[in-house]
Structure 1
Amino acid sequence: MNEAAPQGDDNVSPGQTPAADSTRRSVLKAAGVAGAGLGLGTFGAAATARAAEAGTAAAAGPAAEPAAPPRRGKTMANVPFERRSTVRVGIVGLGNRGDSMIDLYLAIPNVKVVAVCDPVKAKCEKAAAKVVKAGQPAPAIYSKDEDDYRNLCKRGDIDFVYVATPWDFHYDMCKTAMLNGKHVGVECPLAMRMEELWDLVDTSERTRRHCMQLENCAYGKNEMRVLRMAHAGLFGDLLHGAGAYNHDLRGLMFDPDYYEGPWRRLWHTRLRGDLYPNHGFGPVGNYMDVNRGDRAVSVVSVGSPARGLAEYRAKHMPPGDPSWKESYIESDRTISLIQTAKGRVIRLEHDVSTPHPYSRINSLGGTLGVFEDYPARIYLEPTNTNDQWDDFGKYAAEWDHWLWKEHSNPPGGHGGMDYIMIFRLMQCMQLGLVPDFDVYDAATWTAPVPLSHLSIRAHGAPQQIPDFTRGEWKKARPGVDSKKPTA
C-alpha cells in the first residue's frame, strides 16, 4: 500500500564508508536506468543497491536490543505543532504513492506544495504541473540525483517534508528533514533496523521536530468507529485484538512497471519476519491506547516456509530473468503475538506471497463482545444474545468519528482514509495542535520488523519491545480519537 526512502548528514549513509557508497553507486550504474520513468524512479534502483549491500548483515538479523538508553532530549509526547496559517510542504519521492498523494495535499485549503524531489525529472515536472493547475506557484524541482532531497530539506520555506520512497531510505530522509528543522511524515515502515528506530526517536527529541508514521489505516472509517466505541466502553475491558497485511502482491512485486527495480522483492531475500506490521498494529494499538496508558512489551513470531514467490517466478518469469538469482527466505505467512503491559494480546499477520483475498483482519475483543472486519460484523452484549453477528452499520450514526461525518465522501484512494489522514495532519499544523501520533508510535508500530525476524530465527523465542517513550506510556493522553477543534 505504501512506499518509502533514505538520508544522512553527508553523502555517506549511516553505517557506510565512502568506499561502500562508491560500491552502491557502481551497482546503480550497472543496473542502469532503463525503467527510470516507472514506479519509484532512481530511488527504486538505489534501494535495490542498498539492499544488496546490507544483505549479509540483514540476513544475520539485527542485534539484540538493550535496555532503553538515557533520554538525550525532552519528550515529544503532547508537544504541539507551531501554529501557522499556511503549511508549506516538500514532497520527496514521486512514484506510485507520492504521485497520488500530492493531489490530496493540493486539495486541502491553506496547504502549499513548494518543492518536489525525485531523481527522475519527468516525475518532478508532472508533479509541478499538478501544483500549477491547482493555482499555486510552480514548485522548486530537485532531481539532480538520489541525494538531492538533502537540498530540498535545507530550504527555509518548508514546514513539513513528506517521504514516499523505498523503505531503505526512510531513516536517512527522516533524520535529514529533522536536522534541517522540518517536521516529517513517512510512509510505512519507519525504518528497517532497531538502531535506526532509536536514532529517529532521539533525533526527534533533540530537534523538537515531529517524525510521524503516516499510518493511513488508523484513519479508516471502520477503524475510527471501533476506536470511539472501544474508548466509550462498549466492548468492556479490552482483552485481545488482531491486525494484518494479507495482500497478494506477487504480480506487483515481479512487475517492473509498478515497483521499479526489485527493491521490495529483495527484502524477501534478507529477512524472515513481518516486513509490514504497521497497518495491522497501528489501529489495534490505538484501540488499546498503546503508548497512552498501555505498552507493547514483547513479541513472539513464527513463520511458514518461503514458497510463494519462488513458485510464482517459476510459472511467470522467463529463463534468464534477474529474479532467478534471488533466494527467498521471507516466510509466506508470519504470525506474531504481542503482549502488552496490561496483559492484552495483539495478533499480527503478514502475507504478500500467496493467493488470498485482501484482509487487514482488524478485530477487537473485550468482556462485552467482539468486532471483526472483512466483512465488518459485531457482537455486543446486552444488544446481542443469540450467538449471531449483528450489522456494524447500525452503529454508524452515533459512533462515526467527526472527521468522517464532516468528510463523508473524501477524495483519493483507499476508501478516503488517505485524505482524512492528511487533512487531520494539516489541520493540527495549522491550528497548533498536538499530532494524533508521534515518533514513539512510529517506532513501536515498526519494531516488529526486526524483532519478528529475530524471534523466527530463534524458533519463536520472545523478543522484548523497547519502551521508546521511556516511561511516558504510563500517562493517558489523546490520540487518533480526537475531539473536533473549536478554533
Structure 2
Amino acid sequence: MENNRRNFLKTAGLSGLGLVAASPFAAFARNQDELDAIGEQARRSAPRLFNMSGYAAPKLDVVRVGFIGVGNRGMGAVERLNKIEGVEIKALCDLRETQVNKAKKLVEASGHKPDIYFGSTDIWKKLAERTDLDLVYILTPWAYHTPMAVFSMTHGKHVCVEVPAAKTIEEAWLLVETSEKTKKHCMMVENCCYDFTELLNLNLARQGFFGEVVHCEAAYIHNLQDYMFSKNHFYQMWELEEMSKRAGNLYPTHGLGPVCQVLNINRGDQFDYLNSMSSNDFVLGNMAKELAAKDDFYKPYAGRNFNGNMSTSVIKTKKGKTIMVQYDVSSPRPYSRIQLVSGTKAVALKYPEPARYSTGHEWMSEKEVKALEEKYMPPIVKRMGEIAKKVGGHGGMDFLMDWRTIDCLRNGLPLDQDVYDAALWSSVGPLSAWSIGHKSNSIDVPDFTGGAWQQNKPVDISMTKGGTTGTKV
C-alpha cells in the first residue's frame, strides 16, 4: 500500500509537464510535496487495516481532556468543554505562558485542576504522552495538526483536531492508517456540520424532502484581510505564511463537510475526481507592499506571490453527483458558505440568510419555512439548541459539536465524523493545488475508505441513543 501511494501518478504527471510551465501557479504547485506522493492510490482501493466508519470505542464515564493550543479558537474550546458534565480538563498547553495561565484560571473556577505546559515548541509531546488522558483536543496552526494528531493517537488518545486536519495527501493517509491501527477516533472538529440550518437540511435530505440530491454548492467566503496582517490575531503570522506558500482551495471543509453528509459521502457515495481554477491575487500582495512601506515588520511579505482571491473546485462523485466548493478570504464580500442543496424535488439555499426553500419557481413564504423547521428540525437541535445558543460559539454550533462528541464518547457511540471524513474533506486543498498548477486538469481523488464507502452507513442524527450528558449552563 505504501509503495502504491508513493508512485507518482505517471499519466497525470507526464501529460501536465508542459501545462505546469505555462501556469502562473506553477511555482506553488511545484512546491507542494504531496504532488509527488499522490500516486496510483488515487485510482485504486487499498486494503483496510480496520474500518473506523461506525466504530464505537469503549464508553468513558468521564472524558479526561488535554488541550494543545489555547489561543483564539483554543480558548473558546476550553470554555465550552468547561460547561459540559462528564469532562475532566487535565492538561493545557500553549507556547505562551500567559495563555495557559488564563485558561487554567478559567477552569479552576469549575473545579478542574489542570497541569500546564508552555515554552518550547515540542512541549506538547509531554501532554500527549500522559497516561491519564482519553482525548487530546488540537487547536494549533495547520502545519501541526497531523503531527500532533498522529502522535496523540499512537500514545493511546482519541483526537479532536481543528480544520483542516491535513495539508498533504500523505498526511491524510497517515491519519487514516494511524486511526485504523490504534482504533482511536480522529475527528476533525468541523463545527459547521452542527449549524442548525445544516442539520435541518441534512434531516430534510434523510426524509426525502429534496428527492434525489444531485448537486450541492459550498464555500468559505470570509474577508480576513485585516486578520491576516494583524500582528496579534494569527500568532506568528502563520496564516499569511500559508497564503504565500500554497495555492488552491486551502480551507474547504466549512462548506464542504455539511454537503458531504447530505450526499452520504464515504457512506454510500464517494468523490471520483475534481478540477480547480483560481484567480490571480489582486489584494494581498498590494496590501503587503503598502504596509511594508510604513512598517519594516511587513517587509518580508512584500514582493511575495499570494494565493488567488477566488479558488473554485468542482467535484464529481462516483454516483454522478456534483459539488462546487469556493474559497475566498481576501475579497470585500459578505460572509457566506453558500450551502445550496439541489434535488429532484426541492432546493435549499442558506446564504444570504435567512435560509430559503423551494419546490418550484418561487421561494417558500416565511410561514411555510417556519412550518418546515417545526416539522423537520432534528432532535439534537430541539434538545440542545437553546442551551447551545446560550453558551455561544458561532451561534451555538461549536457547543453543540463539543457536547455531541463528549456524549458519544461517554455512551460508547460512533462519532458523527470519522478519520475518513477528516482525510477526504482536507484532501481538496492539495488536490486543488495540483489541478490549478496543471491548467485545471482533473485529478482522481483517493478513496480513503478502501472501497468501504459502498457498505458504510450514513451519519445518524436521530439521536435515538445517547443524549445523557448534562451541562453546567
Conserved 8 A contact 2:268-2:454: yes
Quote the Cα distance in structure 1 between the aligned partners of 2:75 and 2:282. 33
Shift of 1:127: 1.0
Conserved 8 A contact 1:91-1:117: yes
Quote the Cα distance in structure 2 between the aligned partners of 1:106 and 1:377. 32
Alignment-derived partner of residue 58 in structure 1: 31
State the AA in 2 paired with 1:151.
K
Quote the Cα distance in structure 2 between the aligned partners of 1:396 and 1:241. 20
Match of 1:452 among 432, 439, 450: 432
Quote the Cα distance in structure 2 between the aligned partners of 1:86 and 1:176. 22
* 1:350 counterpart = 2:324: no
Normalised by the length of structure 1, the TM-score is 0.85
Quote the Cα distance in structure 1 between the aligned partners of 2:29 and 2:339. 35
* 1:407 counterpart = 2:381: no
Q: For 1:134, what is the secondary structure of its paired residue?
A: coil
Alignment-derived partner of residue 247 in structure 1: 222
Quote the Cα distance in structure 2 between the aligned partners of 1:273 and 1:65. 19
Match of 1:475 among 452, 455, 466: 455
Q: For 1:289, what is the secondary structure of its paired residue?
A: coil
* 1:397 counterpart = 2:374: yes
Shift of 1:480: 5.2
Instruction: Tell me the alpha carbon deviations over residues 136-172 of structure 1, each in whole angstroms, 9 at most, x when there is no partner.
Output: 2x20111141111111111111000000000011111
* 1:334 counterpart = 2:311: yes
Matches within 5 A, 1:173-252: 173-252=148-227
State the AA in 2 paired with 1:103.
E
Distance change >3 Å, CA 236–CA 72, structure 1 → 2 = closer
Quote the Cα distance in structure 1 between the aligned partners of 2:313 and 2:231. 31
Distance change >3 Å, CA 157–CA 223, structure 1 → 2 = same
Match of 2:257 among 282, 286, 292: 282
Match of 2:422 among 442, 448, 456: 442
Instruction: Tell me the alpha carbon deviations over residues 249-303 of structure 1, each in whole angstroms, 9 at most, x when there is no partner.
Output: 0000000111122211111111220110010110000000000100011111000
Quote the Cα distance in structure 1 between the aligned partners of 2:272 and 2:365. 33
Quote the Cα distance in structure 2 between the aligned partners of 1:256 and 1:153. 29
Distance change >3 Å, CA 332–CA 61, structure 1 → 2 = farther
Quote the Cα distance in structure 1 between the aligned partners of 2:93 and 2:462. 33
Conserved 8 A contact 1:437-1:480: no
Conserved 8 A contact 2:225-2:284: yes
- State percent identity of aligned pairs: 34
Conserved 8 A contact 1:61-1:454: no
Instruction: Tell me the alpha carbon deviations over residues 347-390 of structure 1, each in whole angstroms, 9 at most, x when there is no partner.
Output: 00000011111001011000112111112343443xxx553444
State the AA in 2 paired with 1:239.
V
Instruction: Tell me the alpha carbon deviations over residues 7-28 of structure 1, each in whole angstroms, 9 at most, x when there is no partner.
Output: xxxxxxxxxxxxxxxxxxxxxx
Conserved 8 A contact 1:334-1:349: yes
Match of 1:149 among 112, 115, 124: 124
Alignment-derived partner of residue 13 in structure 1: none
Distance change >3 Å, CA 296–CA 390, structure 1 → 2 = farther
Alignment-derived partner of residue 3 in structure 1: none
Distance change >3 Å, CA 470–CA 390, structure 1 → 2 = farther
Distance change >3 Å, CA 403–CA 436, structure 1 → 2 = same
Alignment-derived partner of residue 79 in structure 2: 103
Shift of 1:322: 3.8
Give the gaps of 5 or more residues in structure 2.
1-26, 469-473
Shift of 1:98: 0.4
Alignment-derived partner of residue 362 in structure 1: 339
Q: For 2:54, what is the secondary structure of its paired residue?
A: coil
Quote the Cα distance in structure 2 between the aligned partners of 1:332 and 1:61. 23
Match of 1:170 among 130, 136, 145: 145
Match of 2:354 among 349, 360, 376: 376
Alignment-derived partner of residue 23 in structure 2: none
Distance change >3 Å, CA 372–CA 55, structure 1 → 2 = closer
Quote the Cα distance in structure 2 between the aligned partners of 1:253 and 1:83. 41
Matches within 5 A, 1:264-343: 264-326=239-301, 327-343=304-320
Quote the Cα distance in structure 2 between the aligned partners of 1:281 and 1:271. 20
Conserved 8 A contact 2:65-2:89: yes
Alignment-derived partner of residue 23 in structure 1: none
Shift of 1:318: 4.0
Quote the Cα distance in structure 2 between the aligned partners of 1:144 and 1:72. 39
Q: For 1:239, what is the secondary structure of its paired residue?
A: strand
Distance change >3 Å, CA 408–CA 325, structure 1 → 2 = same
Q: CA RMSD in A?
A: 1.9
Conserved 8 A contact 1:61-1:271: no
Q: For 1:291, what is the secondary structure of its paired residue?
A: coil
Give the gaps of 5 or more residues in structure 1.
1-53
